[in-house]
Structure 1
Amino acid sequence: MRHNPPIRPGIGPVPRQIRAKEKNFSWQNRPAVIQCTYSSVSYHSGDFMLSIYLQRVIDSATVADLRAAYLDAMGGLGFRHTLYAARFLLTLPAALSRDKTETYGNFPQEFDPLLKDPDLLARSVWLRWSARHSGTISTRNLYQDRGKSAQDGSDKAFVLARRLGLEAGQVISLRDPVLHGQGAVLLIPFAGATHDDVERRWAVSHQEITALSWVMHLRMAGIRQNGAGQLTPRQREVLEWSSTGKTVTEIGTIIGVSAATIEKHLRLARNNFAADSTAQAVLKAHLSRQLFTRDPSNNPPQ
Structure 2
Amino acid sequence: MHDLISHLDRLTSAHSVEELWALHTQKMKSYGFDRLMYGYTRYRTSHSLGDPQDWVLLSTQTPEYMRKFIDAGIYNDAPMLKWALANDGACSWRRLTEMSRTNNLTAGERRVMAFNHSMDVTAGYTISFRSISERSKGAIALTAEPGVTQDTVDETWEKHGGSIIVINNVMHLKLLSLPYSGERQLTRRQQEVLQWVGDGKTIQDIALLLGLTPATVEKHLRLAREALDVETTAQAVLKAAFYNQMFTMDTKA
TM-score in terms of structure 2 length: 0.73
Distance 1:256 1:165 in 2: 59
Q: Is the 8 A contact 1:81 1:189 kept in 2?
A: yes
Higher relative contact order (Cα pairs below 8 Å, separated by 6+ residues): 2
Q: Is the 8 A contact 2:125 2:141 kept in 1?
A: yes
Bigger shift: residues 131-140 or 216-225: 216-225
Aligned length: 236
CA deviations over 1:229-267 (Å, ceiling 9, x no partner): 35565653355335xxx6x5xx45x9758xx92342133
1:143-182 → structure 2 map (5 Å cutoff): 143-145=97-99, 148=103, 150=105, 152=107, 154-178=109-133, 180-182=135-137
Aligned residue number for residue 56 of structure 1: 10
**Two-structure CA RMSD over aligned residues (Å):** 3.8
| Aligned counterpart for 1:282 among listed residues 237, 245, 250 | 237
1:105-116 → structure 2 map (5 Å cutoff): 105=60, 107=61, 110-114=64-68, 116=70
Q: Is the 8 A contact 1:79 1:187 kept in 2?
A: no
Structure label with greater radius of gyration: 1
Q: Taking every aligned residue pair, what percent have the same amino acid on both sides?
A: 22
Specify every segment of 5 or more residues in structure 1 that has no aligned partner in the other structure, as ranges: 1-46, 294-302
Aligned residue number for residue 197 of structure 1: 152
- Give the 3-state SS of the residue equivalent to 1:60 in structure 2: coil
TM-score in terms of structure 1 length: 0.62
Aligned residue number for residue 200 of structure 2: 241
Distance 1:175 1:121 in 2: 20
Distance 1:95 1:163 in 2: 28
| Aligned counterpart for 1:140 among listed residues 91, 94, 109 | 94
Q: Is the 8 A contact 1:266 1:278 kept in 2?
A: no
1:35-54 → structure 2 map (5 Å cutoff): 47-54=1-8
Task: Kindly indicate whether residue 28 of structure 2 is the aligned counterpart of residue 74 of structure 1.
Answer: yes
Specify every segment of 5 or more residues in structure 2 that has no aligned partner in the other structure, as ranges: 249-253
- Which residue type is aligned with residue 266 of structure 1? E
Distance 1:205 1:71 in 2: 16
Aligned residue number for residue 43 of structure 2: 90
Aligned residue number for residue 213 of structure 2: 261
| Aligned counterpart for 1:206 among listed residues 161, 171, 196 | 161
Judged with a 3 Å threshold, the aligned counterparts in structure 2 of structure 1 residues 190 and 226 are, in CA distance, closer, same or farther, namely closer
